[in-house]
Amino acid sequence: MIVMKFGGTSVQDASALRKVAAIISAHSAEDGGLLVVLSATAKTTNLLLDLAQRAVHVSDEVHSDAQSLIARHESIVEELIDDAVFRDEALHAVRSLGSDLLRYLDGIAVLNECTDQSLDVVASFGERLSTTLFAVALRSIGAKAEYFDARTAMRTDAVATRAAVNMSETRRLSVEHLAPRLQTGHVVVTQGFIGSTADGVTTTLGRGGSDASAAILGAAIHAREIQIWTDVSGVYSADPRIVPDARPVPSLSFGEIRELALYGAKVLHPDAIKPAIDDGIPVRVLNTFQPDDAGTVITSDNVAHGALHAVTGVRSCVLVRGADDVIDRIRTSEHVRHRIMLEARSIEHALLVLHAPDDLARTEIEVALAGLATRHDDAAIVVATGPKAHDPETIEQLGKVLDGLTLYAFMNGMSPWASFAIVPDTEALDAIRRIHGSML
C-alpha cells in the first residue's frame, strides 16, 4: 500500500488535477490500495483565513469573495469531469460545502469574533473541497475511488491552528475506519492538514500539515512507501538558482534532510515526515509535472553513495567570538537565543553564528554584545552534507576547494552528516559553487 500526497501546486487547477488522476491510474494495481492525501488548491487556504478574519466586520465583500472561491471550484469541476452525471454530483457537493462555508462566515459576523477555532473550521473547507470534487473525478474515469473524511481518523488535541496529533488514537482509528477501505483495493481520497478532537472539533496541524498527515496516516496503516508529489523532481544537490547544474539526489538519509532544512535548503520539513521515518517507511519526493523522473528517496539509514550529497547556505549572518563565559551570557539574551544558527567551543573560547536578516536584528545583536565580544557582521554559513562529511579525506578536500577564500571558521557539525564553513557573505555563493563543482 502506498500513500500519495499531492500539494497545492499539484492540485491548483483542472489541468494539474488531470495529471494527478493519470498518476493515480498508473498505480491503481498497487496491492493493498492507494491512500491519496490532497492539499487545498493553490492559494485557497490563505484566502479562507482572510475571509474568516474579515467576516467579523460584516463586509459584503466577504460573501462575494467566498462565492468567487466556490465558483472557482465549480469551474474546476466543469473542466475536469466530462461525464454529466458525475459532473452534476461533484457540482452539488461543492455547492453544498459552499453553503456551509457561507453560513459559518455569517456566524462569525453575528458573534463579531473570529477565534482560532473558527480559523481552523474555515481553513478546513479548502481540503474538503479539493478532495470532494477529486474523488468524484476519479470515479468518473472508472477508478474505484471513495472519499474519506480525515477527521474520522486523525485525532488531535484541542490546540487550534497547530494541533498535536495523538498518535496512538490515530493508529487505532485508522485501523478501524481507514484500513478496511484500503484492503478492498480502492483508491481512498482524504485531506491533509486537518484533524479533530475526541469531541469532534475540527483542528488543523499548522503550515506544512499535509506532509505530516501523509506521514502520520502512512505510519498508522503500515504503508510500504509514502510519496510526496510536488513541482520539483526531488531534493536537489544545491539551489538551482545558485548552481544551474544542480541535480536531484537519488537518495538521502533523514539526518541529511534535517541539516539541509535547518540551513536554508528548500526541502521537506523533517518533523513532518518523521513519523514515517521512525516506522522505517521510505519517503519519496516526486514531480507531478514530470512523473517519470526518479525523484529522491529519504530513509532512516545511512546512504552509502558518495562522500557528499548536497551543499546549501545561510547568508546575512553575524559571527561572534569571545571567552566561554562571555558567550554563555550572550547566548541567553532574548535578542540572541532565537537567532543562533551554529555554535562551537574550544578549551577557552567559543563562537556563535547568528542569523541577522535585517537592520533591526543587527541592532538587537549589537545591544546584546555590549562590546564584550568581537564580531564579523558580514558572515555566511556554507553547509556540505553527506555520509562522509566528517571523514578526514572529505575535510582535506573541502579545505583545498575553499583555498583562496576568506575562511572565518571551519568545523564539523554535531551530527555526522554535515561540515560547516563560515565565510564572508560576499564569498558564500562562490564557496557553494566550488564545493558543488568539485565534490558533488
Averaged pLDDT, 3-8 = 93
This prediction has a pTM of: 0.91
pLDDT bucket at 364, cuts 50 / 70 / 90: confident
Average pLDDT over residues 115-133: 98
Domains, the chain, in order of start with CATH, read: 2-231 (3.40.1160.10), 310-439 (3.30.2130.10)
Mean pLDDT of the region 357-380? 87
pLDDT tens profile 383-432: 999 999 999 999 999 999 999 999 999 999 888 899 999 999 999 999 99
Task: Average the pLDDT over 341-346 and give the result.
Answer: 89
Mean predicted confidence (pLDDT) in 361-365: 86
Asked if residue 304 has pLDDT above 70, the reply is: no
The answer for residues whose C-beta is within 8 angstroms of residue 252's C-beta and 6 or more apart is 235, 260, 296, 297, 298, 299, 303, 309, 310
Q: Which pLDDT band, with edges at 50, 70 and 90, does 303 fall under?
A: low
pLDDT tens profile 185-200:
889 999 999 999 999 9
